[in-house]
Amino acid sequence: MTARRSDWILLACLSLIWGTSFQFNKVSVASLAPEAVVTIRLVIAAVILVPLVYLRGLRLPLVDARWFSFVAMAALGNALPFYLITWGQERVDSGVAGILMATMPLTTIVLAHFLVVGERMTRSKAAGFSLGFAGVCLLIGPEFLLRLGGGASLLTRQLAIGAGAIGYAINTILARRLPQTPPLVTSACTMVASSVLMLLLTAPTVGQSLAGATASSTFAAVWQGVVSTALAMLIYYRIIVSAGASFVSMMNYFIPVVAFLGGVLALGEPLSVSAVAALVIILSGVLVARRPA
């Protein structure tokens, strides 16, 4: 597939949307509980995506074995990662969260080696993963912890965001193993399942959290549902259909850069030398891992 100018424009928009989502996350948790932010985000996305499925002449499967996969993707690839990342961002800078999430494609490489036929580990992939791991070690090293005054508590939050990246990687593997399904249907079904899971777990606390929320936090949470989730999914699958999965995977280079710069420029987060170095090392690892064997 050859990427057209419109594909590059959509890729830039998607990178901007998902890169700045870390800043909106940071604003939303200022007065909203993480579980409330995640529930609002997923419910809004489901309410938008489900009608679109029917407007495009498609249908949601009712009694279908694929729902086992949808529920697994909802739990491991949406609800849990969203919560871990949002909870982590109560203490972690948005730019640092974006850098930690850059390890997702590297984690996918390792999981695919064991779970996907034909996705064997190569020297390039192993070298790329090693570089990425070194970048993460630098990012969460003692110097960074001391600068933020975090200690073990901050480290736990950073590890939670890293676990969220692993959840996204697992979701990628599950999506590859899913029987052929229109992408919009898959997205809508996983959002519905994610919403139900979060409502069952958090419904009593969401109302209490909303009662004490500021206007800016509420707006940020709603933005996450409308733009960072529903609209982003539509753009994501539009690019895949038009230019292919390999093309859209290039956003892994842009999102952490947007997240880091957005944190510095929009939220006044500190410009750390160690964070910049970690960003360069992790992205270099992604580049090396994508080289042909």
Residue-wise pLDDT tens digits, 194-239: 999 999 988 778 878 888 889 999 999 999 999 999 999 888 888 8
Residue 203, number of CB atoms within 10 A of its CB: 11
Q: Where are the extended beta strands (E) located within the chain?
A: none
Tokens 């800016």 — which residue? 216
Residue 50, number of CB atoms within 10 A of its CB: 19
* DSSP label at residue 136: H
The answer to whether 288 touches 131, Cβ cutoff 8 Å, is yes
Query: Which of 91, 93, 73 minimizes the C-alpha distance to 82?
Result: 73
pLDDT band at 169 (very low <50, low <70, confident <90, very high): confident
d(CA 174, CA 189): 14
Least confident of 133-147, 181-195, 225-239, 250-264: 133-147
* 145 pLDDT higher than 50: no
**Tokens matching residue 80:** 């849990």
Residue 266, number of CB atoms within 10 A of its CB: 15
pLDDT band at 140 (very low <50, low <70, confident <90, very high): low
Count CA atoms within 13 Å of residue 113 on its CB side: 13
Provide the domain count of the chain.
1
d(CA 205, CA 252): 34
Specify the higher pLDDT residue, 2 or 30. 30
Q: Give the Å distances, CA to CA, from 17 to 24, 113, 207, 231.
A: 10, 30, 27, 9
Residue-number span of the structural domain to which 176 is assigned: 5-289
d(CA 104, CA 129): 10
Task: State mean pLDDT over 229-251.
Answer: 81
Specify the higher pLDDT residue, 5 or 54. 54
Task: State mean pLDDT over 272-289.
Answer: 83
Task: State mean pLDDT over 105-133.
Answer: 79
Least confident of 68-77, 171-180, 241-250: 241-250
Query: Which of 154, 189, 182, 241 minimizes the C-alpha distance to 78?
Result: 189
Q: Give the Å distances, CA to CA, from 36 to 29, 31, 54, 89.
A: 9, 10, 28, 14
Specify the higher pLDDT residue, 118 or 273. 273
How high does pLDDT run on average in the chain? 85
pLDDT band at 144 (very low <50, low <70, confident <90, very high): low
What share of the chain has pLDDT > 90, as a percent?
38
Task: State mean pLDDT over 270-293.
Answer: 81
The answer to whether 230 touches 49, Cβ cutoff 8 Å, is yes
Task: State mean pLDDT over 28-51.
Answer: 95
pLDDT at 148: 47
